[in-house]
Amino acid sequence: MRRCEKSIRGQSLVEFALVLPVFLLLLIGVTEFGRAWMTRNILTGASREAVRIAAVQGNTASALSRANTILSSAGISGASVNIVDDGAPYGTCSVTVSYAFPVSIAGFLPGLGGTNFTLSTSTSMRKEF
């Protein structure tokens, strides 16, 4: 009977060694996806607020300032904010925010060092003046 218990303990150790890397990879993947989703939501919020200011006030400088304020308050630096105004009285304003999202776990996995994914969002709104 004791001989059977020893082989079972060894089997559990082998199963654990096989399942642990897959579990850790899944856990890290879910965490990175959550970070990317949160960052894209922040980019969308900055884009929406900037296009609203540009459409209502007609001031692209204050719209750009507002977008950069939102991004810097979230700790996002190096994002590109592009504001396009067609110039027509009741035309449209568009704001595009792009950011090179760094994958934080990439340094621990071989071959993925310095990996960035571009996250981008765009919002358009009709001018009110």
Domain range summary for the chain, segments of one domain joined by + = 2-126
Cα–Cα nearest to 71, from 94, 102, 50: 50
Beta carbons within 8 Å of 113's beta carbon, 6+ residues apart: 106, 107
Q: How many residues appear in the chain? A: 129
Characterize the bridge pairing of strands 92-102 and 80-85: antiparallel
When pLDDT is cut at 50, 70 and 90, the band that residue 126 belongs to is: very high
Per residue in 4-13, pLDDT (tens digit) is: 555 566 888 8
CB 49 within 8 A of CB 64: no
Per residue in 62-109, pLDDT (tens digit) is: 999 999 999 999 999 999 999 999 888 889 999 999 999 988 776 666
pTM of the model: 0.81
H/E segment holding residue 96: strand 92-102
